[in-house]
Amino acid sequence: MEVSIYPGCSLEGLAKSYMESVEAVSKTLGIELRELANWTCCGSASAHVMNDDLAVALAARNLGIAEKAGMDLVVPCAACYQRLKVAEKHLRQGKPVEGLPVKYEGSFQIRTMPDFFWENVGEKALIEKVKNPLQELNPVCYYGCLTSRPPKITDAKNPEDPQEMDRVLRSLGANVKNWSFKADCCGGDLTLTRPDLHMKLTQRILDMAIEAGADCIAVACPMCHENLDSKQAEISQETGRTYNIPIFYFTELMGLAFGDPAAEKWLSRHTVDPLPLLREKGLLEMQVRR
Amino acid sequence: MTVTELPRTVVPNPSFRKQVEEKSGEKITACYQCEKCTNGCPLAFAMDIVPHKLMRSVHFGLKDEVLNSDTIWICASCETCTTRCPNGIDIAHVMDSLRQISQAEGIKASQPQVPVFHKAFLASMKRFGRVHEGEMAAMYILKTGGLKGLMSMAGMAIDMFKKGKIKILPSRPNKQVRDIFRAAERKGK
Ligand code: SF4
Ligand code: SF4
């Protein structure tokens, strides 16, 4: 199976482990990812705040490239996904784009990473590749805001209670916990502009995950990962409660289940060290044994 | 004798509401004050005018209060309100429109660091076509915390660099992206 991929800026920097794990598990599953030629930033959270036309045009440019490539488009970053979907809806209505002649027919679908693995690749293909079932692991899946909301843009089937990531990880053997904070907000870029508020939102998500009995959190968004992973020491200091819960890109967990030897490299970039948990659950020894 | 504070009398003025409706394409008058937006808003606790009150304030034409509020800069664009509004009002987009109107009218943002951040982000985008997170964050911190702020972040930056989480070279500039910026900026004037 061949698909286009729009990596987005974070996957070249902060979220390198997301990109590498997406590439690795896709390869294992026999999927050929074709990076959009000469893609540029989708406008992210900043363009729509400052200028509506800019926000649509920056995203639409990339849809023009995807149209030429002629394949469905997977988008690992939640924010990029939503911005590209906003442009898709704009173009589908036949509205013009400021400063950009795009030829767009909408012959392809835009998918989030969890949707793609669950719906296009499917349970059977996933199970076939499992070498180390994630049995002992108790993750909650955190989808964040922008893969689901607003549903009239994202076409999410269950915007308040998304399921795809849960299903992917369950099919790999993980004991995925239910919780009601799947799509709550982590504070986004308030992490830089109002760190005090951001910390409150993040703490609440960590608290709720722990209360649900999770020993780790799986995410599908660079911003969610950074926000949940990098501030735990600070939150611990501030509140006197110790937070040390590993945050995984769900594709890293897929890689672990598939026995990918590169997994340790991806995990070495995390702030909260996930290796003790994986060792305790016997998920690392399996790799070494192989 | 005790003096009780009298409620303020507001004389509704539709011109601001019309301006917001035109810019956002959303129907402010459709709001029937059910408060669903506020109840689901993760940041309502930190806002000076919570979302449903903001909607009503726009409806009444309280332009100064709205455009000078913390709310419009604290909103994280999480789209919970938009998803849940029973009248289909895209409240998050109304927030965008309010920010844009306040910037266009030269109003000093009550949370000035927020537009500084977005401008640093867009500048990086315009320069390189893609955002270089390291450069963008450094510009933002320099502008809000000065050199001292930048130095205090240096330790973290080095750590991230060692982990390979900072891209080494920025991307090459992209002409089409610059054209897009030029066109949008021209129209925005
Ligand atoms: S949810 Fe919609 S109708 Fe209800 S108060 Fe908010 S804006 Fe008004
Ligand atoms: S988009 Fe803004 S106003 Fe709406 S729920 Fe989220 S933070 Fe609150």
pLDDT 10s digits, B98-112: 999 999 999 999 999
Cβ <8 Å between B125 and A41: yes
- For chain A, the distance separating the N- and C-terminal CA atoms, rounded to the nearest angstrom, is 28
pTM of the model: 0.92
pLDDT confidence band for B88 (50 / 70 / 90): very high
For A2-113, which CATH class? mainly alpha
Is the pLDDT higher at B68 or at B6?
B68
Closest CA to A78 of A215, A206, A183, A234: A183
Interval B35-65: pLDDT, tens: 999 999 999 999 999 999 999 999 999 999 9
At residue B93, the pLDDT reads 97
B16 reaches A (C-beta below 8 A): no
A141 CA: distance to closest CA in chain B (Å)? 18
Residue A237 and residue A272 in contact, taking contact as beta carbons nearer than 8 Å:
no
B-chain residues within 8 Å CB-CB of A146? 79
B121 reaches A (C-beta below 8 A): yes
Q: Which ligand places an atom closest to the C-alpha of B80?
A: 2
Rg value, chain A, Cα: 19
Interval B123-179: pLDDT, tens: 888 888 887 777 777 777 767 766 666 566 666 666 666 676 666 666 677 888 888
Segments in chain A below pLDDT 50: 287-290
B84 lines ligand 2 (CB under 6 A): no
Cβ <8 Å between A146 and B79: yes
At residue A289, the pLDDT reads 42
Q: For chain A, which residues make up each domain, given as ranges?
A: 2-113, 131-289
Cα(B89)–Cα(B82) distance, integer angstroms: 6
Interval A244-264: pLDDT, tens: 999 999 999 999 999 999 999
At residue B68, the pLDDT reads 97
Closest CA to A6 of A95, A112, A132: A112
- Same CATH fold assignment for domains A2-113 and A131-289: no
Q: Which of B73, B129, B137 sits opposite A40 (nearest CB)?
A: B129
- Put the strands of the sheet holding A32-35 in their side by side order: A32-35, A2-5, A73-75, A110-112
B104 reaches A (C-beta below 8 A): no
At residue A288, the pLDDT reads 43
What is the residue with the minimal CA distance to atom 8 of ligand 1? B31
Counting one residue from A and one from B, how many pairs have CB atoms under 8 Å apart?
A: 158
Question: What ipTM goes with this model?
Answer: 0.92
A-chain residues within 8 Å CB-CB of B47? none
In DSSP notation, A189-228 reads THHHH-HHHHHHHHHHHHHHHHHTT-SEEEES-HHHHHHH
At residue A278, the pLDDT reads 96
In chain B, which residue's Cα lies nearest the Cα of A202?
B42
Rg value, chain B, Cα: 20
Cβ <8 Å between A13 and B134: yes
Q: Which of B21, B36, B93 to mutate to test the pocket of ligand 1 (most atoms within 8 A of CB)?
A: B36
* A131-289 carries CATH number 3.40.50.970: no
In DSSP notation, B96-138 reads HHHHHHHHHTTPPPSSTHHHHHHHHHHHHHHHHSS--HHHHHH
